[in-house]
Amino acid sequence: MKLFFHFGRYFLLIKRVFSKPEKLSVYTKQILYEIDKIGISSLPIIAIISFFMGGVITIQSAFGFTSPLVPLYAVGFTVRESMLSEFCPTIVSLILAGKIGSNIASEIGSMRITEQIDALEIMGINSAGYLILPKIVAGVVILPFLIAISMFLGIVGGYIMGLAVGAVTSYEYIFGIQAFFEPWKLYYSFTKVITFAFLITSISSYFGFYTEGGALEVGKSSTSAVVYSSILILIFNFLITQLFYT
Amino acid sequence: MIEIKNIHKSFGSHKVINDVSFVFEQGKTNLIIGESGSGKTTILKLMVGLHEVDNGEILYNGENFPTLDLKGKQEIRKKIGMLFQGGALFDSQTLEENVRFPLDMFTDMSKEEKQERVNFCLDKVQLTNKNKLYPGELSGGMKKRAALARAIANNPKYLFCDEPNSGLDPKTSIVIDNLIQSLTKEFNITTIVITHDMNSVVEIGEKILYIYKGNPWWTGTGKEIFNTTNPELLDFVFASGFMKEIYHAVKNK
Ligand SMILES: Nc1ncnc2c1ncn2[C@@H]1O[C@H](COP(=O)(O)OP(=O)(O)OP(=O)(O)O)[C@@H](O)[C@H]1O
Ligand SMILES: [Mg+2]
């Protein structure tokens, strides 16, 4: 029952978010601001995680493939495949759901409880549009770039750490990451990323927007935002994978 | 002019506003007074549509607000300047950006014109040169004053102030009261001020609605209030011994 309620209210909110903006110039400014806040500030954590994950996957596969039948370039190939199609788009998005999601929900939630959203409404502004649209647009625009950087750093991390521990040779690794490349998998990955970006920003905004009460409830909204964004990312990951692979 | 007619509001089974009617006149400072929890803020929120009335009419120059569609409501809201009880300044923006916000949203003023207007408004509430401070860096009273600056920035036709001088010292209080009154006169605004401050009641109360437990209990002017025989209002007015002494001193002169 509760689920249907949230579902209905979520779609009504999204409808309000995408109604005609009051003043385009103000929105453009907000979008740039959000891109900076959502995107640029997430770069360090993404860089560190991707670099190390690339390294670890390289080492695991290099020492895992003990059969002489597996060619040595398989390591590079494995790193590329897992980074491009699963780790970067899905796992990094899940991590961002935690970071961006809680941030958005608590920001909008505290605006709600301190009547800042009411103040916007009283001025005759569509508060849902003004607050949420820039976040969704910024997320959908910037996340693909973040994930692309993550993919690149993952592969670089694999190379550097693989060489450092003597797991691969430079030639094999570079040959491996280029082997059997199928471009449609990039479409698949980035379809996921854009979907996840929309889910994270809109769901977190939703929970923030309908916060009721005080500081305690802001905390709860922000937890719900992360939990529900993560679950929906997993569900959509499954659905989109079905769509592309079958 | 704004007229409310027989408005009712309950939260769940808790009846908060019971059959209140009043005419808020243009060019006058209309006051809503009453004890804490009597429903003053609720009346204001009903009037701007932050709560929906259960029953009754809210007429802005004859237009019944609750029955308007969102667009119609927004058109009226653009003419309202509202000071919230808690200030409701935008945390992520500086004072200057807060005050400029309605100008950015709804006017085509140039950058310089906006800057001039912002400085003018900050000046009026005695926050000159505090442009770059964030709300987090202000005292409670300063927040109130900044919020008032934002409320008057875009020359509102209707000005609603929820306790504009709670948290202010007596001297600043008077400055703010006088500011509200002079704006009301100068721009012929329909002003509604919620207050428990007897000083304000006497100073700027041209038309007063006294709310007692959600009921309209007394109406009159700031001068008439001292001659009331209404027992609850007497209690409210003369809650402090100081008030009584002044009253008798003045009366016996
Ligand atoms: N959103 C709400 N949900 C439920 N009850 C509410 C809500 N808002 C106000 N109330 C109740 O309505 C009554 C009147 O509240 P209101 O805020 O209008 O009082 P007030 O006269 O402005 O008091 P104060 O002078 O302390 O600001 C209170 O009993 C309060 O508990
Ligand atoms: Mg109040």
Q: Which residue ranges make up each domain of chain A?
A: 23-245
CA A203/CA A183 separation, integer angstroms: 31
Pairing of strands B63-64, B55-60: antiparallel
Candidate of B8, B13, B15, B16 to mutate for ligand 1, largest count of ligand atoms within 8 Å of Cβ: B16
pLDDT band at A215 (very low <50, low <70, confident <90, very high): very high
Name the residue with tokens 């903006």: A21
Write the ipTM. 0.90
pLDDT at A229 over 90: yes
Contact (CB, 8 A) for A17 and A129: yes
- Average pLDDT, whole number, for chain B? 91
Cβ distance A228 to A94 under 8 Å? Answer: no
pTM over the 0.80 mark: yes
Confidence of residue B248 (pLDDT cuts 50, 70, 90): confident
Three-class DSSP category at B217: strand
Q: What is the pLDDT of residue B140?
A: 86
Residues A33-56: pLDDT tens digits?
999 998 889 999 999 999 999 999
CA dihedral A204, A206, A212, A218 (to 10 degrees): 10
Q: How far apart are CA B43 and CA A156, in angstroms?
A: 63
Q: What is the pLDDT of residues A68-99, one digit of tens each?
A: 777 778 888 888 989 998 999 999 999 999 99
Q: Which residue has the tokens 């987090």?
A: B136
Domain locations along chain B: 2-79+158-252, 88-155
Contacts of B77 in chain A (CB under 8 A): 121-124
Per-residue pLDDT at B253: 64
Residues of B whose CB is below 8 A from A34: none
Interface of B with A in 9-68 (CB under 8 A): 45, 48-50
Residue A114 near chain B (CB below 8 Å): yes
CA-to-CA distance for B180 and B191, rounded, in angstroms? 8
Q: What is the pLDDT of residues B142-198, one digit of tens each?
A: 999 999 999 999 999 999 999 998 878 888 899 889 989 999 999 999 999 999 888
Q: How confident is the model at residue A239 (pLDDT cuts 50, 70, 90)?
A: very high
Going across the sheet that includes B29-33, the strands are: B80-83, B158-162, B190-195, B29-33, B207-212, B215-220
| B191-230 residue pLDDT tens | 999 998 888 888 899 999 999 999 999 998 888 888 888 8
CB contact under 8 A, A118 and B84: yes
- What residues contact B227, with CB distance under 8 A and at least 6 apart? none
Helices A127-164 and A102-113, axial angle in degrees (round to 10):
160
Q: Which residue has the higher pLDDT, A211 or B238?
A: A211
Range B132-151 burial, b when 16+ CB lie within 10 A, else e: eeebeebeebbbbbbbbbbb
Query: What's B2-79+158-252's CATH class?
Result: alpha beta
